[in-house]
Structure 1
Amino acid sequence: MRRQVLLFFFVLDFTSVLGHVSYTIPEEMPTGSLVGNIVQDLGLNVKRLKSGKARVYTGDGAGYIELNKDRGLLLVKERIDREAICRQTTPCALHFQLILENPMELYSITVQIEDVNDNPPTFEKNEVRFNISESAVAGAKFVLDRAIDLDVDRNGLQKYALTPTDNFILKSENQADGTEKAEMILQKPLDRENEETVSLVLTAFDGGDPQMTGNMKIFITVLDANDNAPVFSQSTYRATVFENAPEQTIVTSVTASDSDYGANGRIKYSITNSLDQAHELFRIQEDTAEIRLIGHVDYEKARNYHINIRASDEGGLTDSCKVIVEVIDVNDNKPTINIMSKSGSISELSEPKTVVAMINVQDPDSNENGRVQCFINDNTPLVMMSTSNNFYSLVTEGELDRERA
């Protein structure tokens, strides 16, 4: 039975609306600001408001508007934020009723809330980061975060701008939901060797007056592509080593550089095969490029070695150089005397300069170290005579007398 009574009064209220008035105000008006003169606009008077115990009924309890019964005015009761009430819905309006008693009367009131440009475009993140390979081709697309502007219509988001535009340009297009999609388009390939990071700023603009903006920083890390081969600082290196140098002697080192980053710029060194078998006598440290002696070099066997060095990065690109190692002679060989021919006896009647023996003297060393001089005992009737390089004859110096010797 009680439910029927409530329903009756609801229907009665709904069917007894005696008038309607509409006002339009901007959002964010100060408390106490005038909305409208209700008694004048509805044809009432202040006495009726008081006798009828006039009150504002909002239904949802949101008391943004209040009635001043002494003056017959509708006033702003508390701050009205259009975005909080209606979000993106337009138009935005407050609907409420003015109720009077004795007799009961109902009037409908609508207050349209106009948007004020009180919200700048904002991005969810202040900055975003991309990792883009320098091998990315022109035309590659990178979707950017959208900006949000709580204002509507002209006061809402209108456009984007991207700066600088050395490598990227901005492309934006309207979506079915009314938002604008922003993409960053690569127009000039990145070069990590010139610029490891790229900094951009995406700016969102609204259409208000004054115009408001929001910014988002874009940081791009340029990932390396293996587009640079190792390069030796010299095509030919020269070094020296003593022929009596011990094993593990550091002969020299080489240097190559690679402008790539990370694994693509990591260089390993190796010795390639050579005709003089240098790879059997020398070893290169693959990471430091130190060349060490691992065998015995002999000036008399080889006066120099040509070592072919290869530098390889982990991307497979290479460069090569040559190291020429000059062997420095050391006096490490004794002269050797070889008796080529000799006479076991000789007649005392032999003529002077009779050949008694033929001798070959050898010293494998070179230059001064290999130059020899030969001597025989003093007080003998024999002398050494050089016949040609390293060949000697032992001959009688004068007459021989067996009775004396």
Structure 2
Amino acid sequence: MTKKKGCRGWRWLALWWHLFLLLWKTIDAQTRYSIQEELKDGSVVGNLAKDLGLRLSEIYDRKLSVPSAAGKQYFSVDAGKGELLVNDRIDREGLCGQSASCVIPLQVVVEDPLQLFRVEVEIQDINDNSPTFPSKDISLEIAESTATGARFPLEYALDPDVGSNSLKSYTLSKDECFAIRIKEVAGGRKVPELILAKGLDRERIAAHKLLLTAVDGGNPARSGTAQITITVLDNNDNIPAFEKSLYKVSVAEDAAEGALIAQTKASDTDYGANGEVEYSFGVHTSDAVLSVFTIDPVTGTVFLKGKLDFETTANYEIDISAKDKGTPRMEGHCSLHVEVFDINDNAPEILITSHPKPVREDAPNGTVVALINAQDLDSGDNGKVQLKLPKNSNFALKPSFSQNYALITNGVLDRENVSEYHVEITATDAGSPPLSSKKTVVVSITDVNDNAPVFSQPSYNVYLKENGVPGSILYSVSASDLDSGENAKISYSILDSKVQDVSVSSYVYMNSDNGSIYSMHSFDYEKLKVFQIVVQAKDQGSPCLSSNATVHVFILDQNDNFSTMRLDTDK
């Protein structure tokens, strides 16, 4: 008869593991800090251990890390104090441009059990940039016959700072013929315009030199200047005028090269060459615009000559110039605002935030295996991502926050059947048509001692001739264990029992490694004809498991006794 039994205390150990693994949870709450840009390396951002409710010892023991998805490690953690420190130069303008809000999201990961904390660091702007003009020298040619009130767009200054530190105003050095007007265009940008306040007289003043100053709102304020040189010319006293001062169009990012973007039109009331208009982009148009758009100099039609990418640039502000062919040439301006709308041209990306750890085969449902993040560079529905696993999977995805998920167990695991799972995760966006991508996570299953050793047969019959040599092998039994490692390592032993009131160990002994049974002395059929040995196979698991088998030993008679004869002496 085969008997299975476990060593004492295994039920308590299984309960302990169950409670331990259930302690894991994904933290939905978030911690937020606020610091100024350009702090020195080593500056303290906040006490991360205290704010996340972690003991200082856990910083090292649980391998706290602050992985960077941007490829630059702006922050580090002082494991001794539990403080989050500045680790690299933080330039708000380089990081967030002129966005009103600048937040660096951090994912703080601790292990054993796995936890994910969401931490945000708001970067506050300091007034570390002065307004600058694209060119320090601005040259204009204005005919003396130009009517009072005529406006001349000037180059606008750029200030990378935001909020109160951004560009606020312009001033112009004193000149009786000119004044300045500030116009606010799309996006809140302030553009200066030179206004002719009084008629020009070339014979009195042939050239005017003005100083244009751009001032920001910082405390103290910073400024930048540009020198304006105005040459007064004769003749051609009408400026080409556009039908609209602002043209607005929307274009899909997958528009084909050569597509018509906008039709602009300007007219000049002068006669002949003075009224003939030629179109071009403004002299300070950026290379980024020139690489994507072109304009027909005769018709004013703007065409697409490069590729648009919503994820790189969502809108363009283009200055268009119309010049006549008179002497001097007069110039009019308008603005073209091109809004690029998103199409679903980026497939979702699946990121493994923490590498999967081996999972015990007796792990309860809900045990966290790995942390997953989904991203899509598109916007709106095109950027909404849903993760899925195959049907009937032994795993599930538990959503956390902001496209973060935990990969958890969701079924019975049996290492003896499947020792390694290849979990295929599919990410699909909500675009039309939807795009998807896949990633496989390899999960290893570690063994639990849930299988007892099993003998090759429940009982064995051994036939042994009497008068054998002591120490000779009687029989070899064998057992196998479906577990692995120490859980499958088997040792053999003989359970104590009595043979003719003497311990069985006086008759036989057993090799614990290979299951061979040896005789201790020679057997005599006339004294002992049959006896039983109960052998046990035990694994090295914790708790250990074992099973028994019975070996029946039959002693075979040998002709080892002489015949005796009794004589009757009376006869």
How does the TM-score come out when normalised to structure 1?
Answer: 0.71
- Pick from 420, 428, 431: which aligns with 1:208? 431
Name the SS of the counterpart of 1:163 in structure 2.
Answer: coil
Alignment check: 8 A CA contact 1:58 1:95 kept: no
Q: Aligned letter for 2:546?
A: T
The corresponding residue for 1:293 is 519
Task: Kindly state the Cα deviation for residue 326 of structure 1 after the two structures are TM-superposed.
Answer: 1.3
Task: Kindly state the Cα deviation for residue 163 of structure 1 after the two structures are TM-superposed.
Answer: 1.1
The corresponding residue for 2:394 is 167
Name the SS of the counterpart of 1:183 in structure 2.
Answer: strand
Alignment check: 8 A CA contact 1:196 1:221 kept: yes
Residue by residue over 1:372-392, the C-alpha shift from the partner in whole angstroms, topping out at 9 and shown as x without a partner, is 243xxxxxxxxx44xxxxxxx
Alignment partner of 1:97 is 2:319: yes
Alignment partner of 1:133 is 2:311: no
The whole-number CA distance in structure 2 between the counterparts of 1:195 and 1:248 is 44
Structure 2 CA distance for partners of 1:270 and 1:59, relative to 1, 3 Å: farther
Task: Kindly state the Cα deviation for residue 124 of structure 1 after the two structures are TM-superposed.
Answer: 4.7
The corresponding residue for 1:278 is 504
Alignment check: 8 A CA contact 1:164 1:201 kept: no
Task: Kindly state the Cα deviation for residue 57 of structure 1 after the two structures are TM-superposed.
Answer: 5.2
The whole-number CA distance in structure 1 between the counterparts of 2:274 and 2:494 is 110
Structure 2 CA distance for partners of 1:144 and 1:203, relative to 1, 3 Å: farther
Unpaired segments of 5 or more residues in structure 2?
1-132, 141-153, 157-179, 181-190, 196-241, 324-328
Alignment check: 8 A CA contact 2:454 2:479 kept: yes
Alignment partner of 1:112 is 2:316: no
Residue by residue over 1:161-208, the C-alpha shift from the partner in whole angstroms, topping out at 9 and shown as x without a partner, is 1113343333224x3xxx312223323231223333334321111111
Alignment check: 8 A CA contact 1:66 1:77 kept: yes
Task: Kindly state the Cα deviation for residue 153 of structure 1 after the two structures are TM-superposed.
Answer: 0.8
Q: How many residues align?
A: 327
Q: Aligned letter for 1:35?
A: I
Q: Aligned letter for 1:306?
A: Q
Q: Aligned letter for 2:315?
A: A
Sequence identity (%)? 26
The corresponding residue for 1:148 is 375
Q: Aligned letter for 1:14?
A: P
Alignment check: 8 A CA contact 1:52 1:103 kept: no
Alignment check: 8 A CA contact 2:535 2:549 kept: yes
- Pick from 559, 562, 567: which aligns with 1:331? 559
Q: Aligned letter for 1:68?
A: D
Alignment partner of 1:181 is 2:404: yes
Which region of structure 1 is more displaced relative to structure 2, 220-229 or 194-203?
Answer: 194-203
The corresponding residue for 1:322 is 550
Give matches, 1:186-205, under 5 Å.
186-205=409-428
The corresponding residue for 1:354 is none
Which region of structure 1 is more displaced relative to structure 2, 314-323 or 192-201?
Answer: 192-201
The whole-number CA distance in structure 1 between the counterparts of 2:533 and 2:286 is 92
Task: Kindly state the Cα deviation for residue 264 of structure 1 after the two structures are TM-superposed.
Answer: 0.9
Q: Aligned letter for 1:150?
A: L
Alignment check: 8 A CA contact 2:281 2:318 kept: no
The corresponding residue for 2:310 is 82
The whole-number CA distance in structure 2 between the counterparts of 1:48 and 1:287 is 110
Name the SS of the counterpart of 2:407 in structure 1.
Answer: strand
Name the SS of the counterpart of 1:10 in structure 2.
Answer: coil
Alignment check: 8 A CA contact 1:49 1:69 kept: no
Alignment partner of 1:395 is 2:560: no
Alignment check: 8 A CA contact 1:34 1:76 kept: yes
Task: Kindly state the Cα deviation for residue 226 of structure 1 after the two structures are TM-superposed.
Answer: 1.1
Alignment check: 8 A CA contact 2:253 2:340 kept: yes
Structure 2 CA distance for partners of 1:295 and 1:180, relative to 1, 3 Å: same
The whole-number CA distance in structure 2 between the counterparts of 1:190 and 1:103 is 82
Which region of structure 1 is more displaced relative to structure 2, 4-13 or 151-160?
Answer: 4-13
Residue by residue over 1:111-160, the C-alpha shift from the partner in whole angstroms, topping out at 9 and shown as x without a partner, is 111111112113357xx755211121122233442232221111113311
Q: Aligned letter for 1:95?
A: E
Give matches, 1:355-394, under 5 Å.
372-374=563-565, 384-385=566-567, 394=568
Root-mean-square deviation over aligned CA pairs: 3.2
The corresponding residue for 1:73 is 301
Structure 2 CA distance for partners of 1:53 and 1:208, relative to 1, 3 Å: closer
The whole-number CA distance in structure 2 between the counterparts of 1:28 and 1:49 is 38
The corresponding residue for 1:229 is 452
Q: Aligned letter for 1:98?
A: I
